[in-house]
Structure 1
């Protein structure tokens, strides 16, 4: 599959309306789930194990979307199959009082991966150029002294791009997935959560309230994607109405990123190999 067609070009001026929320793949859900996902997850698992063993590079994964678009399910059905010791998942919610006292990127740090890890951000620091913008939540204390409040978004885009470049230059690849979902599909998924007692726990009344700002969110997402998809930290737009197709795409992109890193199992050489052989001989002699 050509994953490049889902990647937002650098310095682009894309229109979200030009990206489909569905590629009519929902009818193939069972085939994708049963026949394609297992092999992709197996390959991803092997590459992740090498990344974890080598401990040279790390990957930061950003999952960004409106409610019910499929972020949690990608974590459950794809990433949860990986080695738990090399996986770190962080969910971003409304900033706590302590977090609000710091710069807006401060709360990111606990979610960053170590070398050998994949760190997943379920929502992320991008909330500070999405929700904060849609709901006009920016306080005066958050605006630099030499800037006007209307200029702050370009400032933050620059800061985010610079920080992601900093991570990349220090051995941490950043890959970002935007779950592009239609309003009709979200309606159906929210209704399912509301009507099914076993899924009520997934539903929040705020999910419906946020739908009132649908157009503002789409415009904000579009600006964010155009301003922050870079060569070192690209955005991928997923047709999220096709849930298993979207999960397949995430798997393929992650495999592509890991193959670029090309992690290898550490090789024992020199004196360590001699010591290893000595201990092998010792244990075998016990019989």
Structure 2
């Protein structure tokens, strides 16, 4: 199977979104990819156990992509070997009435993973510069002092919001959160195929919503917004990775490989040792228990 160099997928310079790959050939059959994926998932679970005991770093994995890009199944397959105590997943959709009473980043702050845990944002704080940019009328629900109408939503507003998001990520990175941002890059043709599959298969009908077709008509607008998001927010401390998503097993493997290769570079993440005074008395403790 073809080796995956994570630097091939990391976005470290300005991009044109139509030049990014939506396919990647691992030169392997699906069963081999899935077998490798299972091994990686177990290795990642071992790393998480060590991080949980170490207790100094957390991991935040942000996933963005168009409808049907495979976000839910990717989470399921990459993290299926994890101990549930060490992982927290959040899906950010329409804000609740309580969330709208706070600034737009509040609900993301309170969902951040504790040290030692993996947090997954399935749709993320970037919805606030994606969906709201395609549908600026949604901003009216935020009831901001300086936004009275859509006419007040200027380029300066979006620049400020990007700065706030970058500062948010820099702050949590400086305090021990390792950030991964994955753009599941799906082609428009493949999205069409997946939507048709949902309609043609009775067991998948429940996934289909008429709103999916309305959003599909805005495909080009979304692509423009994704391009601007990536170009404004892929930082060394919080990089974006372009994940070719037309083939789900391939996308899952690439994400798992990026996580594994990056986290294994942290040579300071080790399991804590027993305090020396207690370690010296291990035989005594064993004897006490065995002689009960």
How far does the alpha carbon of each residue in 1:157-208 deviate from its partner, in whole angstroms, 9 at most, with x for none? Answer: 1111111010011011111000000011011111111221211222222112
Q: Per-residue deviation at 1:149? A: 2.2
TM-score of the superposed pair, with normalisation by structure 1: 0.92
* Counterpart in the other structure of 2:197: 192
Say if 2:182 and 2:240, in contact at 8 Å, map to a contact too.
Answer: yes
Q: Would you say the 8 A contact 1:26–1:243 is kept in 2?
A: no
Q: How far apart, CA to CA, are the structure 2 residues paired with 1:27 and 1:40? A: 16
1:278 equivalent in alignment to 2:284: yes
Matches within 5 A, 1:32-43: 32-34=33-35, 36-43=36-43
Are 1:63 and 1:71, in contact at CA under 8 Å, matched by a contact in 2?
Answer: yes
Partner of 1:265, secondary structure, is coil
How many residues are paired up?
Answer: 282
Deviates more, 1:72-81 or 1:159-168: 72-81
Please show how residues 204-223 of structure 1 align to structure 2 within 5 Å: 204-223=209-228
Unaligned 5+ segments in structure 2 are: none
Partner of 1:171: 176
Q: 1:220 and 1:48 mapped to 2: Cα distance?
A: 34
Partner of 2:5: 2
3-state DSSP of counterpart to 2:165: helix
Using the TM superposition, name which of 215-224 and 104-113 deviates more: 104-113
- Note the residue ranges of structure 1 that are not aligned, 5 or more in a row: none
Q: Alpha carbons of 1:197 and 1:110: their partners in 2 closer, same or farther (altered >3 Å)?
A: farther
CA drift at 1:27: 7.2
* Conserved? CA contact 1:143–1:149, under 8 Å: no
Alignment correspondent of 2:24: 23
Q: What aligned pairs does 1:86-105 form with structure 2 within 5 A after superposition? A: 86-105=86-105
Query: Residue 95 of structure 2: SS of its match in structure 1?
Result: coil
Query: Which protein has the bigger helix share?
Result: 1
Between the aligned partners of 2:261 and 2:162, the Cα distance in structure 1 is 26
Offset, 1:40: 1.2
Superposition RMSD on alpha carbons, in Å? 1.9
Selected match of 1:251 from 236, 251, 256? 256
42-51 vs 275-284, which moves further: 275-284
Q: Deviations over 1:213-270 (max 9, x none)?
A: 0000000000000000000000001000021111011101111232133421110022
Residue 141 of structure 1 and its aligned partner are, at CA, apart by: 4.0
Verify the 8 A CA contact 1:91 1:121 in the aligned structure 2.
yes
